[in-house]
Structure 1
Amino acid sequence: MLRERRWQVAVSGLVLAAGAYALAGWMFGLMIVAGTWVVPAWVPSAALLVVAFVVALVRRVRLSWPSRVVAVLTSAVALLSWVGDLSATYTVLPASPDGCRVVVRESSFLFAGDGEVFLTSPFGIGPGMGTYQTDDGYRPVTVGDYEFRWESGVGRLSFTGNSTDPILRSTIRTLEC
């Protein structure tokens, strides 16, 4: 009985961790970068859920109703995030002398495009630092219409597009390492 309870607590903990990471990724736009590899926020949540479900199946663990609700909601968030990521491209810009990296996630749908800019610490984890919207599904970073440089620990990102593909709105803040 005690052993069953331990497995139930372990699986519930995995589900809760997956839910917490999905929520943090959704609210704060977290990004994980390892070298030039980008791990979108939904991947760790989905991985934790898969581990929880495999352990629950192998050990025949029955989850309590709150854990089931968290599992279903986390699964929905991970699935929706994955669907939203299908058309996205990620670009890792050159690292600062201190090891910080800027990552740009761009996506487009029909006649609209958007981008999110993330600043990761030398440890590879970082929040979103702003967004921009474009016309006609334009992806300025993906096509190379941008300039990026580090000046005294501050990243400067500017777009060099043309009048046929304008940047409609930008909320990119200071990229200070």
Structure 2
Amino acid sequence: MTEASEPLQTSEENPFEVSSTRLRWWGALRVVGTLAFVGAVLVGAVTFVQPDRDEAFGWVTVVIGNWVPSPLTAEVVLLVAGTGAFLTAMLFVPCPPERPWRELRIFIAVVLAGAVPLSLFVVADGSNYSVLPEQSEGGCRIVVREYSFFLLGEGSVGIVQPGSVTVDWLRGYLGDDGYAPFSRDTYTLDWHGKTAALSVFGSPNGDAAWFAEQPSITCIR
């Protein structure tokens, strides 16, 4: 049955006839938009209470090529998807007829209106991840996490073994005045076979130093 031949629905407040096909699309798009916004809130919640501060997504950090997906990336994608779904629904049915559960929908909208900006703030204040360009002959790569907040600067260094897409975190550093040595290119990395010699140092704008323990950075091949 085509859209033109399907029964039409109207409401007293909306004199325009709306096909049932458009109503189904309207409902589906609103569900997609709501789930996307709920997902964005969950990303912010996981970022806030994540059990391991080093990991990008609470329990794991994934590397795709030279790109490390971050909670901020996921947050932006979900917010764009949710906004796009709701805008598309408005274009399909600008003035839909009255639907059931109106009070519940209003309550969910109010909760999301407050939770989504808070979630975005939490995620935007998170760490930055990057893959250093130097890699070993066997294909090992070094991933760094940097975090700066006013006078606080700290971060971690991990390794991605050949054939793996997850990071094994090995050591951390502290930076004065929020200093981020890898973003400012104040580091040296040299591979000696399977072992990496990595050093961080400061500049007139700040300083960085390793924690007391410095486990070796060793590749499996």
Q: Gaps spanning 5+ residues in structure 1: where?
A: none
Change in 2 beyond 3 A, CA 1:21/1:98: farther
33, 48, 51: which one pairs with 2:78? Answer: 48
Unpaired runs of 5+ in structure 2? 1-22, 94-101
Say whether 1:6 aligns with 2:28.
yes
Larger radius of gyration: 2
For the Cα contact (< 8 Å) 1:135–1:168, is it kept in 2? no
Q: Is the deviation greater in 129-138 or in 117-126?
A: 117-126
SS at match of 1:159: strand
Query: What does residue 144 of structure 1 align with?
Result: 186
Greater displacement, 123-132 / 106-115: 123-132
Q: State the one-letter code of the partner of 1:139.
A: A
1:135 corresponds to: 176
User: What are the residue-to-residue correspondences of 1:39-78 with 2, within 5 Å?
Assistant: 39-60=69-90, 64=105, 65-66=107-108, 69-70=111-112, 72-78=114-120
Higher relative contact order (CA 8 A, sep 6+): 1
Deviation of the 1:42 alpha carbon: 0.7
Closer, same or farther in 2 for the Cα pair 1:6/1:15, shift >3 Å?
A: same
Shift of 1:56: 0.9
Cα distance in structure 2, aligned partners of 1:84 and 1:168: 21
Q: CA RMSD in A?
A: 4.3
Contact in 2 for aligned 1:15/1:71 (Cα 8 Å): no
| Separation in 2, partners of 1:77, 1:172 | 34
Relative to the length of structure 2, the TM-score reads: 0.53
Which structure shows the higher strand fraction? 1
Partner in structure 2 of residue 103 of structure 1? 143
Q: Distance in 2 between matches of 1:119 and 1:132?
A: 15
CA distance in 2, matches of 1:107, 1:145: 16
Q: Using structure 1 for the length normalisation, give the TM-score.
A: 0.62
